[in-house]
Amino acid sequence: GTTLAHSHEDFLHCLSLRSAKSDSISRVIYTQNNSSYSSILDASIQNYRFATPATPKPSVIVTPRQTSHIQATIYCSKKYGLQIRIRSGGHDVEGLSYVSEVPFVILDLLNFRAVEVDTKNKVAWVESGATIGELYYRIAEKSKTLAFPAGVCHTVGVGGHFSGGGYGMLMRKYGLAADHVIDAHLIDVNGRIIDRKSMGEDLFWAIRGGGGNTFGIVLAWKVKLVSIPAVVTVFTVNRDLEQNATKIVHRWQYIAHKLPDDIFTDVTITKVNSSQEGKKTIQAAFKALFLGGVDKLIPLIQDRFPELGLVKENCIEMSWVESILYFGGVSTKSSDVLLDRDALPKQFFKLKSDYLKEPIPESGFEGIWRTFSEKEAEFSFMMMVAFGGKMDAIPETELPYPHRAGNLYQASYLVGWSKEENAESQKYISWIRRLYSYMATYVSKSPREAYYNYRDLDIGTNNNGYTSYAQASIWGRKDFKNNFNRLVHVKTVVDPENFFKNEQSIPPISPPL
């Protein structure tokens, strides 16, 4: 309508007034009339569910090159009632970094991606718009024995990933990405640039896992690097139903979380073609990263997990950075691919997560296999990620991420498809919801815990306007357990008007009139 067009013009005018001539803010503003608007918008979208003609689009995209551009965007969005969505790597599973139902602006940090690695002090500063692959690459370029414990897919953005926890193959040895953040630069709702010292320990605690788009815009993070041996060992062992997959997966649940912390394992369940013509079977892929050589790994697994039948031929020795390519599913030997933000295939998908405190009985797995046999499960997987090790040693209240001691493993479920047809998509989404409801018997309860970074709006959402503490606590307790209360407290202090918000951001307590 006209008021919308009006506020949009006023917003652009405001941006130009707020920035000095030397800032050249006009060069980093894209409106729908700009020929690059669509390519900038689509560039980092990972989930095609939110790239359809029906998806709400931003009135303006700002790709700041300096902090004054961000400050101007905050000021003018507030003044003209536009919502801000902050985007770093664009991997938000429900598209919250680039979609909103109300008029909005995207602040895309793609130009804030410097990485500075200091091997002498074993630290790095990394800007939010960098990918974790860029961070890995810059570390490996300088050292063979330093690493960083973050996610597996290298295209994931630092900004969202660190804001929600961030786990990967080094988790059992070192914990989460957020556990290694020691300082940060943040722009708050008033446009102030603050660091750990000036923001204080409460806010510094909240930004390390309490969610993005909530407390301000994190520009950069200072992280501690971790030590790894120059040679690590990886393996993948596939077992299908005819090869005793059910029994072996069942056993894995008792063993994986108790292994020494320099071995990380996960299991991926998929439906595959059976060796019998035209038939399908279930396959469990057991993967591992061991921080050491193959000669130590083989006896360890043969002793602790003989059911797997691991042999030397399953194992490959390599460097840590090569293991990132191996587990990320990149079929190249050159680590240069870590700098490529488009290296991995994209699709339409829905993801959900769970935490397991008790092993699932064999009969329970049989029900899972039955669900996977349904035809909607064509492109789907269930992934089981072993916990224990360092995750058991970090108290639940240390950071907002609460899923620590007592978890045997995290389970996640994904269903994907390659073209958008409404009825078809609904079938896939119904399928994954069916699997999730089947799992209720076996997973954590009261609350049924979920991983914030595997965003799932099925578990609860805020209103777009005023959201009550009670409403937000429905999803908030699942993601943060009792840390939710401290997050609400911090939010109330730093952003009482709830300017930074989305469908799963922490609300302040501010009773409506």
Q: Could you list the active site residues?
A: 454
Instruction: List the helix and strand counts (H, then E) for the chain.
Output: 15, 18
* By the rule CB under 6 A, 92 interacts with ligand FDA: yes
Q: Which stretch binds ligand FDA (CB under 6 A): 161-169, 251-259, 318-326, 425-433?
A: 161-169
Residue 450 burial (C-beta neighbours within 10 Å; 0-12, 13-18, 19+): buried
What is the full DSSP assignment across 159-227?
HHHHHH----TTHHHH--SGGGEEEEEEE-TTS-EE-HHHHHHHHHHHHTTS-SSSS-EEEEEEEE-EE
The answer to whether 208 and 362 have CB atoms below 8 angstroms apart is: no
Closer residue to ligand FDA in complex, CB, 319/504: 504
Which of 58, 133, 149, 151 is in the footprint of ligand FDA by CB under 6 A? Answer: 151
Candidate segments 87-95, 222-230, 258-266, 293-301, binder of ligand FDA by CB under 6 A? 87-95
Among 34-42, 60-68, 151-159, 388-396, which window interacts with ligand FDA (CB under 6 A)?
151-159
The partner residues of 409 in beta bridges, in order of sequence, read: 356, 386
* Interacting residues with ligand FDA between 439 and 498 (CB under 6 A): 453
Give the containing element (helix H, strand E) for 295: helix 294-304
Return the range that interacts with ligand FDA (CB under 6 A); candidates 55-63, 150-158, 259-267, 428-436: 150-158
Q: Which residue has the tokens 């996610």?
A: 151
- 167 vs 365, which CB is nearer to ligand FDA? 167
Tell me which of 58, 89, 389, 400 binds ligand FDA, using CB under 6 A: 89
Q: How far is the CB of 496 from ligand FDA (least distance, A)?
A: 18
Does residue 447 have a cis peptide bond before it, meaning omega lies within 30 degrees of 0?
yes
Cβ proximity to ligand FDA, 97 vs 467, nearer residue:
97
What are phi and psi for residue 110, nearest 5 degrees?
Answer: -60, -25
| Sole window of 155-163, 234-242, 399-407, 480-488 interacting with ligand FDA (rule: CB under 6 A) | 155-163
Q: Which of residues 380-409 bind ligand FDA (CB under 6 A)?
A: none
Residues 120-139 that bind ligand FDA (CB under 6 A): 128
Residue closer to ligand FDA by CB (options 78, 304) is 78
What distance in Å separates the CA atoms of residue 160 and residue 88, rounded to the nearest whole number? Answer: 7
Taking residues 206 to 235 in sequence order and writing x for each that binds ligand FDA by CB under 6 A, - otherwise, the string is ------xx---xx-----------------
The phi and psi torsions of 131 (rounded to 5 degrees) equal -90, 165
How far is Cα 62 from Cα 335, in angstroms, rounded to an integer? Answer: 31
Asked if 415 interacts with ligand FDA (CB under 6 A), we say no
93 binds ligand FDA (CB under 6 A): yes
- Candidates 157, 416, 460, 507: give the one binding ligand FDA (CB under 6 A): 157
46 binds ligand FDA (CB under 6 A): yes
Which of 18, 49, 69, 85 binds ligand FDA (CB under 6 A)? It is 85
Distance CA 343, CA 109 (A): 19
x/- mask, ligand FDA, residues 163-202, rule CB under 6 A, reads xxxxxx----------------------------------
Q: Are 260 and 292 in contact (CB under 8 A)?
A: no
Nearer to ligand FDA, 138 or 350 (CB): 350
CA–CA separation, 209 and 225 (whole Å): 18
Strand order, beta sheet including 217-224: 115-118, 123-127, 217-224, 181-187, 193-194
**CA nearest neighbour of 308 among 290, 284, 289, 292:** 284
What minimum distance in Å lies between the beta carbon of 45 and ligand FDA?
A: 9
Least CB distance from residue 451 to ligand FDA, whole Å?
A: 7
Catalog residues that contact ligand FDA under the rule CB under 6 A: 46, 85-93, 96-97, 109, 128, 151-153, 156-157, 159-161, 163-168, 212-213, 217-218, 453, 502
